[in-house]
Structure 1
Amino acid sequence: MKHTAVSLALSGLLAFTAVGCAVTRDQSTVGEYVDDATVTARVKARFADDPTVSALAISVETLRGTVQLSGFAKSSTERNRAAEIARGTPGVRTVKNDIAIRP
């Protein structure tokens, strides 16, 4: 019984790992997917380190080096700072700033 539970857990982990590495329709390689995930993590980490930007209120997605920012900012200063941080992050080619300012 113990071995069955371990086997199920491992097969579930393997399935999760395989799904986690899936490449989306517009990406051509797993390498690009990993690069984009790295860029997203870098931008989010920089948001977390910046006192002006709320890392929880702003979402970051990356596709082939293009970073898309979305969510809500408290001011235009926060919105602009988020885009500035993203542009200055290694691996970012362009930034699409879709952050809305919350009234």
Structure 2
Amino acid sequence: MKHTAATLALSGLLAFTAVGCAVTRDQSTVGEYVDDATVTTRVKAKFAEDPTVSAMSISVETLKGTVQLSGFAKSTAERNRAVEIARTTPGVKSVKNDIVIRP
């Protein structure tokens, strides 16, 4: 009986783990999801280090290597710097800039 309970517990854990790594729409593999999450984290980290860019005001999402930037910038310089940072981040294939300038 103990063996059955342990097997059920392990099965539940595996099912929970699989759900936690769910692939989102338009992503074909878990590996692509992990790669996109890594790119997003790299871009956000660079934003946090840069004195020109407000990491709190600009959102970053990545899908298949395409980074989408959205949110608000205080100036054209901040908006351009955010795009430059994203473009030069390893793993980024292209950048979609939806940042709005709001003084």
Q: For 1:33-92, what per-residue CA distance to the aligned partner results, in whole angstroms no more than 9, with x for missing partners?
A: 000000000000000000000000000000000000000000010000000000000000
Q: For 1:3-40, what per-residue CA distance to the aligned partner results, in whole angstroms no more than 9, with x for missing partners?
A: xxxxxxxx79x73x544311012000000000000000
Equivalence for 1:76: 76
Q: 1:57 to 1:34 in 2, by over 3 A?
A: same
| Counterpart residue identity of residue 60, structure 2 | V
Structure 1, unpaired ranges of 5+: 1-10
Does 1:26 pair with 2:26?
A: yes
Does 1:98 pair with 2:95?
A: no
Under a length normalisation based on structure 2, what TM-score does the superposition of the two structures give? Answer: 0.82
Equivalence for 1:63: 63
**Percent identity at matched positions?**
81
For these two proteins, the number of residue pairs brought into alignment is: 91
Under a length normalisation based on structure 1, what TM-score does the superposition of the two structures give? Answer: 0.82
- Which structure has the larger Rg? 2
CA-based RMSD of the aligned residues comes to 1.6
| Structure 1 residue ranges, 4+ long, deviating more than 3 angstroms after superposition | 17-20
Distance 2:19 2:74 in 1: 36
